């Protein structure tokens, strides 16, 4: 049976609608995860919640211990992970407030501990990352979004930048030429680490701003905050639906 975890991103340090059962502090050989694991339920469906940026949103994207987060989930028996992320929209179709279920990734990050392999004498293995996300979870996210009539974009290329600064216009133009349709800072190495441990993993992104240079008015941080609040509500509905349909 699937054991599902939600990794909450910016704006989702608490999962609204989650009934708390107990908190668990896990320590892995890679260190402690960003937050305690919250064991609870949404609409009577069991779920584990992890706040990627910490409980008080204090860990910036490049400082997150992605290995400890993914390993901690595996150690408590998690098999399926839904990763939530706030992103910027690059493609026209990815307007503010839309939900995007990406199917591809381009990794622009650097200096992050991006693999479980590399320990001395460790026999390493390559992973197939042709399709970086779980087809099954994506399908469930898409069907659930459609059932709820949420404005979901059913495919997309998530360009993952190092942050914590936002991008320049030229960087976004280059990313667009590369094929990126959304931009965020936390999609990698989380996705490939999950694959290394054999976890089913998919991402549900909410667009909280148009990417740099995409609107003449520039980036408006107040508007981002507002969009985050609205987006969290949609995400919560979507997650509840996915969990009750079962993974």
Which two tokens mark 52?
């990627």
Distance of CA 15 to the CA centre of its chain: 14
Number of residues that bind ligand HPA (CB under 6 A): 12
Nearest residue to 64 via CA among 182, 187, 165:
187
Stretch touching ligand HPA by CB under 6 A, among 69-77, 91-99, 133-141, 179-187: 179-187
180 binds ligand HPA (CB under 6 A): no
Q: Does 156 sit near ligand HPA (CB under 6 A)?
A: no
Q: Is 185 in the site for ligand HPA (CB under 6 A)?
A: yes
User: Is 160 one of the binding residues for ligand HPA (CB under 6 A)?
Assistant: no
- Is residue 64 involved in binding ligand HPA (CB under 6 A)? no
Question: Residue 17, Cα to own-chain centre: how many angstroms?
Answer: 19
Is residue 86 within the footprint of ligand HPA (CB under 6 A)? yes
Question: According to the binding rule CB under 6 A, does residue 87 interact with ligand HPA?
Answer: yes
Distance CA 165, CA 178 (A): 20
Torsion angle defined by CA atoms of residues 103, 106, 110 and 112, in that order, rounded to the nearest 10 degrees = 10
Cα 208 to Cα 219: distance, rounded to the nearest angstrom: 10
d(CA 81, CA 107): 19
* Strand residues in 58-143 grouped as ranges (E): 80-89, 99-100, 104-107
> Shortest Cβ contact with ligand HPA: which residue?
88
Q: Site for ligand HPA (CB under 6 A): which residue of 32, 127, 166, 197? A: 166
Nearer to ligand HPA, 64 or 72 (CB): 64
Interactions with ligand HPA, residue window 10-39 (CB under 6 A): none
Interacting stretch for ligand HPA, rule CB under 6 A, among 25-33, 69-77, 160-168, 191-199? 160-168
Among 11, 88, 102, 189, binds ligand HPA (CB under 6 A): 88
SS3 (DSSP) at 8: strand
Contacts of 91 (CB under 8 A, 6+ apart): 156, 176, 181, 182
What minimum distance in Å lies between the beta carbon of 44 and ligand HPA? 32
- Cβ-based nearer residue to ligand HPA, 18 or 185: 185
201-240 footprint of ligand HPA as x/- string (CB under 6 A): -------xx-x-----------------------------
Whose tokens are 């399926």? That residue is 80
* Distances 44 to 17, 18, 19, 183, 241 between C-alpha atoms, Å: 10, 9, 8, 34, 11
Binding site residues, ligand HPA, CB under 6 A = 86-88, 161, 166-167, 183-185, 208-209, 211
């Amino acid at each position: 049976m699937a054991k599902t975890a939600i990794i909450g991103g910016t704006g989702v340090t608490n999962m609204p609608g989650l009934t708390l059962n107990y908190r668990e502090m896990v320590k892995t050989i890679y260190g402690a995860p960003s937050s305690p694991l919250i064991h609870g339920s949404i609409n009577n469906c069991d779920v584990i919640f992890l706040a990627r940026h910490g409980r008080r949103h204090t860990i910036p994207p490049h400082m997150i211990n992605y290995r400890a987060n993914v390993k901690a989930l595996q150690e408590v028996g998690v098999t399926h992970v839904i990763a939530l992320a706030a992103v910027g929209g690059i493609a026209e179709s990815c307007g503010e407030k839309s939900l995007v279920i990406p199917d591809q990734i381009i990794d622009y990050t650097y200096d992050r501990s991006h693999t479980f392999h590399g320990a001395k004498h460790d026999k390493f293995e390559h992973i197939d990352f042709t399709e970086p996300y779980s087809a099954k979870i994506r399908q469930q996210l898409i069907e659930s979004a459609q059932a709820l009539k949420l404005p979901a974009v059913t495919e997309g290329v998530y360009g993952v930048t190092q942050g914590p600064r936002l991008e320049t216009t030229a960087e976004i133009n280059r990313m667009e030429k590369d094929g990126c349709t959304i931009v965020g800072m936390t999609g990698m190495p989380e996705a490939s680490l999950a694959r290394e441990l054999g976890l089913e993993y998919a991402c549900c992104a909410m667009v909280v701003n148009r990417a740099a240079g995409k609107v003449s008015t520039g980036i408006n941080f107040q508007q981002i905050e507002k969009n985050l609040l609205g987006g969290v509500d949609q995400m919560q509905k979507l997650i509840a639906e996915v969990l009750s349909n079962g993974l």
